[in-house]
Structures are given as structure tokens and as C-alpha cells.
């Protein structure tokens, strides 16, 4: 039940952010553009293209350009994101679908190329998710994925750490944990892990950006009470301790890229 509530919260948060997302999503656009370079030119003859966790459809339009003659499925758990995408993208071959990545409504062996940028970190059960990837992919089909690692937003996490016991920042899984969740018939062909540090003049720029992309804390154990002024003050002064010599406040992101191929 708590799993269900978390997913409802994820969907709700991203839905509400749909109209502000694109303007605030510079990191997400950069990561997705790098990931696009990993999609295959020679993919199995049969099967659709899937943009999993498509959000506003920013990369769906690029996938249409790369695979103009293939059917494209744009799937997201947030209805608001899909509505926004349908209104703003003109993609005649696209089918928009509101569904959960961990229980995809597709036939076995029906997807030739799966693309998923910065979405799977919101999923609850990686083993289940990758089992779904292996089920829906055609033999020889591939999945290119980007996701976030535990160092992401470490400054934010540490700044809250000695303020209270609540979980304020999402928990992201380690690369090894991600790899350990892969089923035997999903082979890792390529991987990359990189660290990116974004810089801000003021802490409010970072917190507004997170709100505008819908990436609020959605882990169970999040603080449900009011955040008092004193606690926020302490959090802010803790974050100030990270201020760099160039006068900027940093926000670290650990980004993973994976290319997986279904074997058999």
C-alpha cells in the first residue's frame, strides 16, 4: 500500500510540474542528449520504440527524428506530463500511454529500442523493472538508460542531516546495486558514470528548480509535519558551508548511463 501511495505522489508531483519542467530541466536535457547518442542505428526489424518516463516528450521528438518509420510509444506515470506533451509535441506516429514502468501493458518481445532518461530512479523495485525490460524487448533489442546515483544532491542531504531525522532528499541506488538487479538475459554492453556539479548564486534557485521539475522528495519517511522556521534556517546555514571560492553554491549529480541488450 505504501508503494502505491508513493507512486501516486510521484505521479502527482510530476503532473503538477509539467508546465514548468522544460524551462528548469537543463541537466535533464543535457543527460538525455548524451543518452540519445547511445541509441542503436541497427535495431531489430520488428518492434516499436519506447520512451519510458517520457515526461514532456522532449526526447520523444528526437526519437521520432531518429526512427521516422517506427511506431513510438511514449509512456509516463504522470497524466499531467502526458497531457502537456500531447498539447506541445506534434508526433503523428506516437501513442501516449499512462502506465507504470514496473508493469508495462505491452506484449512480450514487442519493443526494439527502449529509451529512458532520468526516470527509473523513481521506481520501487529494480529487479521487477528490469524483468519487465527483458520481457518486452525483442531478441537483440536494446535499452539505453540514464539514472542518478547516491552522490546526487549530497550537499542537500548533508545540510539536512544534522537538522532532523527526516528524509528530505530522495535515496538513489548505487551503480553496483543497479547492475545486480539485471536478469541473466539482459546484458550490459556499455556503461558510464559521471559527476556533474551545478552552481547557484542562492539556495532558493536550486530548491525552486527541483520544485519546477517535480523532483520533490517522494521516499517513504519524508517529513510530513511543518518545516519550522528555525529548522529551515539551520538547513540554509549548513548549505552555506558548501559555498565555493567562486562564490557559488554547488549541487552535485552522479549520473549513470547504461546500454543493455536482450540476449535470446
Ligand X SMILES: C[S@@+](CC[C@H](N)C(=O)[O-])C[C@H]1O[C@@H](n2cnc3c(N)ncnc32)[C@H](O)[C@@H]1O
Report phi then psi at 111, rounded to 5.
Answer: -115, 125
Which residue, 47 or 53, is less far from ligand X as judged by CB? 53
Query: Is position 14 an interface residue for ligand X (rule: CB under 6 A)?
Result: yes
Query: Is position 61 an interface residue for ligand X (rule: CB under 6 A)?
Result: no
* Contact region with ligand X (CB under 6 A), list: 39-47, 88-96, 99-107, 149-157: 99-107
Q: What is the dihedral of CA 215, 97, 125, 111, to 10 degrees?
A: -120
137-148 and 186-200 strand pairing = unpaired
Residues 19-58, mask of contacts with ligand X (x by CB under 6 A): ------x--x---x--------------------xxx--x
* Contact region with ligand X (CB under 6 A), list: 36-44, 74-82, 148-156, 200-208: 74-82
Say how far apart CA 92 and CA 68 lie, in whole Å. 10
Distant-in-sequence, close-in-space partners of 33: CB < 8 Å, separation ≥ 6: none
Closest approach of ligand X to the CB of residue 203, in Å: 21
Query: Is position 182 an interface residue for ligand X (rule: CB under 6 A)?
Result: no
Query: Is position 77 an interface residue for ligand X (rule: CB under 6 A)?
Result: yes
Q: Return the exposure string of 201-230: e unless at least 16 CB atoms fall within 10 Å of the residue's CB, then b.
A: eebeebbebbebbbbbbbeeeeeeeeeeee
Which residue, 119 or 255, is less far from ligand X as judged by CB? 119
**CB of 72 closer than 8 Å to CB of 66:** no
Query: Is position 12 an interface residue for ligand X (rule: CB under 6 A)?
Result: no
How open is the CA angle 26-27-32, to the nearest 5 degrees? 100
Taking CB under 6 A as the criterion, the residue among 38, 96, 122, 235 binding ligand X is: 122
Distant-in-sequence, close-in-space partners of 27: CB < 8 Å, separation ≥ 6: 196, 198, 253
Say how far apart CA 127 and CA 115 lie, in whole Å. 18
Closest approach of ligand X to the CB of residue 221, in Å: 18
Size of the site for ligand X (CB under 6 A): 25
Taking CB under 6 A as the criterion, the residue among 81, 85, 114, 258 binding ligand X is: 81
* Contact region with ligand X (CB under 6 A), list: 83-91, 119-127, 147-155, 190-198: 119-127
Burial class (CB in 10 A: 0-12, 13-18, 19+), 198: middle
Which residue, 53 or 141, is less far from ligand X as judged by CB? 53
Residues numbered 192-251 forming contacts with ligand X, rule: CB under 6 A: 213
Residues numbered 131-160 forming contacts with ligand X, rule: CB under 6 A: none
Closest approach of ligand X to the CB of residue 213, in Å: 6
Give contact residues for ligand X (rule: CB under 6 A): 10-11, 14, 25, 28, 32, 53-55, 58-59, 75-78, 81, 100-102, 117-119, 122-123, 213
Amino acid at each position: 500500500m505504501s508503494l502505491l501511495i508513493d507512486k501516486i505522489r510521484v505521479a502527482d508531483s510530476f503532473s503538477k510540474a509539467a508546465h514548468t519542467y522544460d524551462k528548469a530541466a537543463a541537466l535533464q536535457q543535457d543527460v538525455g542528449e548524451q543518452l540519445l547518442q547511445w541509441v542503436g542505428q541497427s535495431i531489430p526489424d520488428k518492434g516499436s520504440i519506447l520512451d519510458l518516463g517520457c515526461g514532456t516528450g522532449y526526447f520523444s521528438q528526437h526519437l521520432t527524428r531518429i526512427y521516422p518509420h517506427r511506431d513510438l510509444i511514449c509512456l509516463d506515470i504522470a497524466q499531467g506530463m502526458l497531457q502537456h506533451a500531447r498539447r506541445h509535441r506534434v508526433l503523428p506516429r506516437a501513442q501516449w500511454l499512462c502506465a507504470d514502468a514496473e508493469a508495462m501493458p505491452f506484449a512480450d518481445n514487442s519493443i526494439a529500442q527502449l529509451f529512458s532518461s532520468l526516470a527509473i530512479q523513481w521506481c520501487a523495485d529494480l529487479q521487477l523493472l528490469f524483468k519487465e525490460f527483458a520481457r518486452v524487448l525483442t531478441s537483440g533489442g536494446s535499452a539505453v538508460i540514464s539514472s542518478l546515483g547516491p552522490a546526487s544532491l549530497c550537499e542537500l542531504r548533508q545540510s539536512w542531516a544534522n537538522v532532523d531525522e527526516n528524509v528530505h532528499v530522495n535515496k538513489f541506488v548505487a551503480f553496483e546495486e543497479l547492475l545486480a538487479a539485471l536478469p541473466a538475459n539482459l546484458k550490459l554492453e556499455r556503461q558510464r558514470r559521471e559527476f556533474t556539479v551545478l552552481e547557484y548564486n542562492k539556495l532558493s534557485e536550486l530548491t525552486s528548480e527541483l520544485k519546477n521539475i517535480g523532483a520533490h522528495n517522494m521516499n517513504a519517511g519524508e517529513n510530513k509535519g511543518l518545516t519550522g522556521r528555525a529548522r529551515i534556517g539551520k538547513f540554509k546555514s549548513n548549505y552555506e558551508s558548501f559555498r565555493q571560492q567562486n562564490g557559488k553554491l554547488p549541487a552535485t549529480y552522479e549520473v549513470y548511463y547504461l546500454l543493455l541488450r536482450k540476449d535470446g
